[in-house]
A and B are shown apart, each in its own frame.
Chain A
Amino acid sequence: MADNATTPLIETRGLVKKFGSFTALNGVDLTVYPGEVHALLGDNGAGKSTLIKILSGVFKPTDGEIIVEGRPVSFASPRDATNAGIGTVYQDLALNALTSVTRNFFLGREITHFSSPFGLLKMGEMDRIATEEMAKIGINVADPNQPVGTMSGGQRQTLAIARAIYFGAKVLILDEPTSALGQKQQMEVLKTIRKVQKLGDIAIILITHNEIHARLIADRFTFLSLGEVIGRGTSKELEGDDIKRLMAGGAEIGDLAKELAD
């Protein structure tokens, strides 16, 4: 699947981001194909967050270009990125825990009878769509009117992902989707990612610290360290120790073991 794709869905070439005299990214190339899960790995401060903030339109790059489906783009705001088909699911998920699943699913893009903020909501239609869309990627909501606060962390992730997909995301950026969850819920999220992957035409950029999760689910890896790419490859090309080594920013695990033993 991923290997056969010809046109990358999203591509960055020589992306540079400087904050004053500090260089956060120093010429990063990233290529993501439709239908693949692309794990973006690296230690704290490697530049992962800066990269996804540029991709989701929060920051403007100092240099380099972003190419979406073969066309160079430039984002002035997160809105532009969303319109270009890049959906970002942040760690805090951008959900209002006090209101219902449906109201969160359509937050900011409600379906109304007249196109006015005072137009009546089409609650029935919205309930139906929210339930269907979440079922597509694996969660049956018992009651679309239940407050989001009563849902588990895994279900909230699913809601946020389903919402991004429904509103036209072709590239889904997941920022540490498993970091704040318990074991069982982490598995739920991974299953959800797998379901999205099986839809075939959506690319997922997965930012994670968890090497096991990355190996379970990712088709392709890119490793960042100190603002530069220090390694990349498909899951077949990389062996277990490579991944461990590259995640630690290129340090040899063997060296580390020796150091700890002293």
Chain B
Amino acid sequence: MNSSASTRQESDRLASKSWLKSLLARPEIGPIGVMLLLFGMLGYFSIPAGEFSLNPFAGEGFNALGIRNNLRVIAQLGIIALGAGLLIIAGEFDLSIGSMIGFAGACMAMVLRWGFAIVIPYISFEGGMHVEFFTLFYIDNVSPIGAIMITMCFTLFFGWLQGFIVVRSGLPSFIVTLGGLFFLRGLTEVSLRAFNHRPDQTKGATTVTELPDIKNIIDVPGHGEMERESAKALPEADLMAILKDVPADTIASITERLQYTAQRVADAKTQIMATKGVKPLERALENAIESGNETMAETIRNKIDTFVVNPVVPKEITDIDVARAYIDSISSARPIANFFGGDILEPIFDFLYFPVDWNTNNFGNQFAPGLYSCVMIWVILAILCYVVLSRTQAGNWIYSTGGNLQAAKANGVPTDRVKISLFVFSAFCATIFATCQVFEVNTADAAKGNLKELEAIAAAVIGGIVMTGGFGTVVGIIVGAFIFGLAKEAFFYIPGIDGSFYRVFLGLVIIASALLNENIRKRIMGTL
């Protein structure tokens, strides 16, 4: 044996890997590529027709409203994908997420609308045998936090139960949660129909409407708590009275802001009128040039050059307008409802209305008030999940539970507890999703969340989670949610193409991702 061969070690073979190769072995690299592609597509196709812009992101997909709507879709999916993804890393599935969303939303809306009671049914023999109910307690007027807590009790218990059945029976979680899918959806419809009907109806509805706009309940000086819209509809005298106690500089800044908006709106109108007025002249010019009538063409050209419209006069700002704008600025009296269903980053969106056209619609008004609150909740949850999975003992336990269950058990990892906790976390994420939805739109529907479990699993797979467990990252899950949401939007901006092509595209991406994930996993296992 020569000396150079004897000093060579097994580990030297690994060190020869190039940085490019090690970069390609990262589980997130493929999905990030697809995400960038979709960003490009959405940017390119959302450039308005016939307009050339050096900034490819100036189109509708990326203006303030586009960002607001796209990020909402992405964040909602992202929230449940975190729960689904972590569970898959631990080697189990949850197919009940979609039904859990429907159940949680219905439960929360019903508690908000009719209150919460615990009743004990018993058989009474007085006047013939029949069932009567003894009300143990009844709370009317449950606060948003109360409704969330009550709902969490039900959903987290159900998540725990599913996990408990899976680890105790050893049944595949696919079957157990498939049962959960049907059970919860049915339970939601049954209980909605049972509680939710007016006296004149025999059958109840499976939707809860007529909820107040809870996040927009404000404390109006001199009137107490009321919804923002009804406060703005108060008699003019009342509005003036409210304004009386407002500091002068607040009034000044509101007035200035309203005047600015009025000016922008007037400018936009002027612009529209100018474009409309010039159009017939331009057409006449074309005709004149075609027919070779030089004199006529010259006359029309002169007319176009000297064409002016009278600028539209901005709307006068009255005290009533100021009072209504002031009511808009009062912060919510239900901070929890606002936390889940309100808007965030309003100052930034407000600020960006001024200098650039990014947040201005065609009529000169502000496009988007801010981002949906669910985006912030997604960010918070994602950071927590990232820290737990990559930086804590619990994370190591999750990886090992999914990667090699026997090894984890042999080393004293409480694998059953890990799995049950993640089933509970999956139910938690579904409940958060439902909470955001209920407080955003103030309705609940038994059909909410349909097929969301599959979307969540798809997003996780696209993000590099291996279905057999033990492999994947939170960054991957986030990217997967981005891809799914962006694809959903981007295809609607491609002119002349059926929007449903996004499903065709996603189908291909899912299969491609799964192949890529398996390849990376094998490379890491050393079997490729």
Q: Is the CB of A121 within 8 A of B391?
A: yes
Q: Contacts A117-B397, A118-B392 given; indicate if A146 touches B526 (C-beta within 8 A).
A: no
Q: Is the CB of B396 within 8 A of A98?
A: no
Q: Contacts A92-B406, A98-B470, A150-B524 given; indicate if A118 touches B394 (C-beta within 8 A).
A: yes
Q: Mark A97-128, 1 if CB is under 8 A from B, else 0.
A: 11100010011111010001111110100000
> Contacting B14 at CB < 8 Å: which of A94, A107, A146?
A146
Q: Is the CB of A96 within 8 A of B410?
A: no
Whether a CB of chain B sits under 8 angstroms from the CB of A210 is no
**Which chain A residues border B399 with CB–CB below 8 Å?**
96, 98-99, 103
Whether a CB of chain A sits under 8 angstroms from the CB of B302 is no
> Contacting B526 at CB < 8 Å: which of A112, A149, A188?
A149
A99-B388 Cα distance, complex, nearest whole Å: 16
Whether a CB of chain A sits under 8 angstroms from the CB of B291 is no
**Which chain B residues border A96 with CB–CB below 8 Å?**
399-400, 403-404, 407-408, 470
**Which chain B residues border A110 with CB–CB below 8 Å?**
393, 396
Please, which residue of chain A has its CB at the minimum distance from the CB of B391?
A120
Q: Is the CB of A108 within 8 A of B391?
A: no
Q: Is the CB of A143 within 8 A of B14?
A: yes
Whether a CB of chain A sits under 8 angstroms from the CB of B247 is no
Please, which residue of chain A has its CB at the minimum distance from the CB of B521?
A98
A119-B388 Cα distance, complex, nearest whole Å: 9
Q: Is the CB of B524 within 8 A of A154?
A: no
Q: Is the CB of B524 within 8 A of A147?
A: yes
Q: Is the CB of A109 within 8 A of B392?
A: no
A108-B396 Cα distance, complex, nearest whole Å: 8
Q: Contacts A98-B525, A109-B411 given; indicate if A103 touches B14 (C-beta within 8 A).
A: no
**Which chain A residues border B15 with CB–CB below 8 Å?**
142-143
**Which chain B residues border A94 with CB–CB below 8 Å?**
404, 406-407, 410-411
Q: Is the CB of B11 within 8 A of A108?
A: no
Interface residues of B in 387-434 (CB under 8 A from A): 387-388, 391-397, 399-400, 403-404, 406-408, 410-413
Size of the chain A interface, CB-CB below 8 angstroms: 39
A96-B409 Cα distance, complex, nearest whole Å: 11
**Which chain A residues border B471 with CB–CB below 8 Å?**
98
**Which chain A residues border B527 with CB–CB below 8 Å?**
149
Whether a CB of chain B sits under 8 angstroms from the CB of A79 is yes
Q: Contacts A94-B407, A96-B404, A108-B408 given; indicate if A119 touches B392 (C-beta within 8 A).
A: yes
Q: Is the CB of A152 within 8 A of B470?
A: no
Interface residues of A in 122-149 (CB under 8 A from B): 123, 139-143, 146-147, 149
A196-B279 Cα distance, complex, nearest whole Å: 92
Q: Mark B177-190, 1 if CB is under 8 A from A, else 0.
A: 00000000000000
**Which chain B residues border A149 with CB–CB below 8 Å?**
524-527
Q: Contacts A96-B403, A120-B392, A142-B15 given; indicate if A90 touches B410 (C-beta within 8 A).
A: yes
Q: Mark B194-238, 1 if CB is under 8 A from A, else 0.
A: 000000000000000000000000000000000000000000000
A78-B405 Cα distance, complex, nearest whole Å: 16
Q: Is the CB of B392 within 8 A of A97?
A: no
**Which chain B residues border A230 with CB–CB below 8 Å?**
none
A147-B526 Cα distance, complex, nearest whole Å: 9
**Which chain A residues border B394 with CB–CB below 8 Å?**
117-118
Please, which residue of chain B has its CB at the minimum distance from the CB of A146?
B14
Q: Is the CB of A109 within 8 A of B388?
A: no
> Contacting A112 at CB < 8 Å: which of B392, B521, B525?
B392
Whether a CB of chain B sits under 8 angstroms from the CB of A151 is yes
Q: Mark B13-42, 1 if CB is under 8 A from A, else 0.
A: 011000000000000000000000000000
Interface residues of B in 485-528 (CB under 8 A from A): 521, 524-527
Q: Is the CB of B393 within 8 A of A97?
A: no
Q: Contacts A96-B400, A149-B525 given; indicate if A108 touches B411 (C-beta within 8 A).
A: yes
Q: Contacts A107-B408, A108-B411, A147-B524 given; indicate if A117 touches B11 (C-beta within 8 A).
A: no
Q: Mark B156-179, 1 if CB is under 8 A from A, else 0.
A: 000000000000000000000000
Whether a CB of chain A sits under 8 angstroms from the CB of B245 is no
Q: Is the CB of A98 within 8 A of B524?
A: yes
A78-B412 Cα distance, complex, nearest whole Å: 9
Please, which residue of chain B has its CB at the minimum distance from the CB of A141?
B11
Whether a CB of chain A sits under 8 angstroms from the CB of B126 is no
> Contacting B400 at CB < 8 Å: which of A99, A142, A155, A188?
A99
Question: 5 more A-B contacts (CB under 8 A) besides A99-B470, A142-B11?
Answer: A92-B407, A94-B411, A107-B400, A116-B393, A140-B11
- Interface residues of A, Cβ cutoff 8 Å to B: 78-79, 90, 92-99, 103, 106-110, 112, 116-121, 123, 139-143, 146-147, 149-152, 154-155, 188
25 A-B residue contacts at CB 8 Å?
A92-B406, A94-B411, A95-B404, A96-B404, A97-B403, A97-B404, A97-B524, A98-B404, A98-B525, A99-B396, A99-B470, A110-B393, A110-B396, A112-B393, A117-B393, A118-B388, A118-B392, A118-B393, A139-B11, A140-B9, A147-B524, A149-B524, A149-B526, A151-B10, A152-B10
